[in-house]
Amino acid sequence: MIELVSDPGWELLEELNIETEFDIVKARQSVRQYAKDAGMGIVDQTRITTAVSELFRNMYMYAGGGVVRIQKGMYEGHPALVITCMDNGPGIDDITLAMQDGYTSGQGMGYGLPGAKRLVDDFVLQSEPGQGTSVRVAKWK
């Protein structure tokens, strides 16, 4: 698993495992609630929830699951919600390709990763073949 280092100032809100589709639903509901608690409006709540939904689904589909860390804290000078998804899956060979609109290695639409990136304020992806994939997204008001 590729560890994305946390800022020591961030507060850990919750850590969850994604193993089943039901876990995706639960994790998504958690994120929506934290977004609401952070004072985000309905549009921002929907954006961050949809973005993480894409990441959770990818972990579930391509890596057989993974870990989700929900944190809050200052991110590039903004009070933000930070969600990190880490898996132990096969990793992504060609990240540039995976980030392209419409590219899918399976039966998807190929909009999950690039779409998620457009829905958040910051998006970090690290992946190595054989070492898994880690994605961090941050959203502020």
Partner 1 sequence: MNSTTITNAKERIEHIEDILSSVAAGDLDLRIESEFEDDLTGVEQAINLLIDDLTHELKKSLKLKQEMEEKLMKIQEQQKTILQQQEDLMELSSPVSKVWENILILPVIGTLDSQRTQIMMENLLQKIVTTGCTTAILDITGVPTVDTQVANHLLKTVTAARLLGAECIVSGISPAIAQTIVHLGINLSNILTKATLQDAMIYALRKNEQLINGKVVLNQIDTDEPK
Ligand X SMILES: Nc1ncnc2c1ncn2[C@@H]1O[C@H](COP(=O)(O)OP(=O)(O)OP(=O)(O)O)[C@@H](O)[C@H]1O
Residue ranges in contact with partner 1 by CB under 8 A: 21-22, 24-25, 28, 32, 42-43, 45-47, 49-50, 53-54, 57, 101, 108-109, 111-112, 114-116, 118-119
- The one of Mg ion, partner 1, ligand X, none whose footprint includes residue 87, by CB under 5 to 8 A per kind, is ligand X
Closer CB to partner 1, 80 or 119, in the complex: 119
**Residue 89 binds to Mg ion (criterion: CB under 5 A):** no
Q: How far is the CB of 94 from ligand X (least distance, A)?
A: 9
At position 103, the amino acid (one-letter code) is Y
Sign of CA dihedral 30, 35, 37, 41: negative
Exposure string over 20-59, b if 16+ CB within 10 A, otherwise e? eeebbeebbebbbebbeebebeeebbebbbbbbbbbbbbb
